[in-house]
Amino acid sequence: MAQSLNTTVELSTPGVYYVGLGGNKIGKFLIGDKALEFYPDNNVEKYIQIPWQEIEQIGANVSGKTVSRHFQVFLPNKRRLLFASKDSGKILKIAREKLGDDKVIKIPTLLQKLTSRFAKKS
């Protein structure tokens, strides 16, 4: 039986976890005082719980004032988890409160990466 790490939940919202070649998992995020948690709809027992202290960085693409619905969680050993939620901005805002400003980052978009590479060559 799935047991939440959180004692209080600040945000509960639907979302997607991109597993990779294994497919995507649709489920629900529980963002609380102790961890960022994701529970898949089809099997709640295959949950992901990431305590705040284990997150090295979390970030999303930002264009102007628009935050992408996709965001990444960077863990130790260069592990990266990719998620999506219509409330990614709210998730990142709570993460900023829990982790601090320096651990919530802006990830450059593909267009921004290409532009910076061409600008460096000139």
Whether pLDDT at 122 is above 80: no
Among 1-5, 8-12, 42-46, 100-104, whose mean pLDDT is lowest? 1-5
SS3 for 77?
A: coil
SS3 for 109?
A: coil
Q: Would you tell me how many other CB atoms lie within 10 Å of the CB of residue 22? A: 7
Digit-coded pLDDT (tens) for 64-89: 888 889 999 999 999 999 999 999 99
**Gap between the Cα atoms of 25 and 47, Å rounded:** 10
Whether pLDDT at 118 is above 90: no
Among 29-43, 61-75, 84-98, whose mean pLDDT is lowest? 61-75
The CATH code of the domain at 9-121 is 2.30.29.30
**Gap between the Cα atoms of 91 and 73, Å rounded:** 11
Contact 76, 59 (CB under 8 A): no
pTM as predicted? 0.86
